[in-house]
């Protein structure tokens, strides 16, 4: 190989490594921000399914290739409805069919955004909620 070609290869390699490092740093920051969410608790506290129970957020933290990750599950302490976090502000509902057959049909296995969850929440039904209240 010509010495000039060799130098070009090094530039390419350096550039690729630099891009990789930037991508990694971006992912790290994104997941770190995700980790900080819900520090004040879940967006709902009352259970929309049974309207009697309280919702409790459970977090399991782990690292994937050094990047901090978290798995979140929200459980009701009265019925056994469970919300699993499947994306950013997106949750999959597992509704207890015995407690609320109508909502079981409507919601079980469905992925809901937090806005949709807030809209069906008993505690916010009468109150107009402000979007992006964390600002």
Encoded one letter per residue, x for contact with Zn ion by CB under 5 A and - for no contact, window 5-44 reads ----------------------------------------
Q: Which of 44, 47, 83, 95 binds Zn ion (CB under 5 A)?
A: 47
Rg of the chain in Å (alpha carbons): 22
31 vs 107: CA distance, rounded Å: 28
- Does the protein bind Zn ion through residue 48 (CB under 5 A)? no
Instruction: Output 68 or 101, the one with its CB closest to Zn ion.
Output: 101
Encoded one letter per residue, x for contact with Zn ion by CB under 5 A and - for no contact, window 93-132 reads ----------------------------------------
CA distances from 33 to 70, 90, 91, 131 (A): 11, 16, 18, 19
Tokens 């979007």 sit at which residue?
A: 131
- Does the protein bind Zn ion through residue 79 (CB under 5 A)? yes
CA dihedral 100, 103, 105, 107 (to 10 degrees): -130
- Does the protein bind Zn ion through residue 50 (CB under 5 A)? yes
Structure tokens at 56: 């409790």
**Which residues sit at the interface with Zn ion, rule CB under 5 A?**
47, 49-50, 53, 76, 78-79, 81
């Amino acid at each position: 190989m010509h010495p000039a070609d060799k130098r070009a290869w090094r530039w390419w390699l350096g550039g690729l490594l630099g891009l990789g490092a930037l991508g990694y740093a971006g992912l790290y920051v994104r997941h770190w921000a995700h980790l900080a969410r819900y520090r004040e608790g879940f967006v709902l506290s009352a259970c929309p399914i049974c309207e009697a129970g309280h919702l409790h957020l459970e977090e399991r933290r782990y690292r994937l290739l050094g990047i901090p990750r978290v798995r979140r599950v929200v459980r009701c302490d009265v019925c056994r409805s469970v919300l699993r976090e499947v994306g950013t502000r997106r949750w999959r509902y597992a509704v207890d069919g015995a407690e609320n057959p109508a909502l079981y049909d409507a919601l079980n296995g469905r992925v809901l955004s937090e806005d949709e969850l807030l809209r069906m929440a008993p505690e916010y039904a009468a109150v107009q909620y402000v979007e992006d209240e964390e600002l």
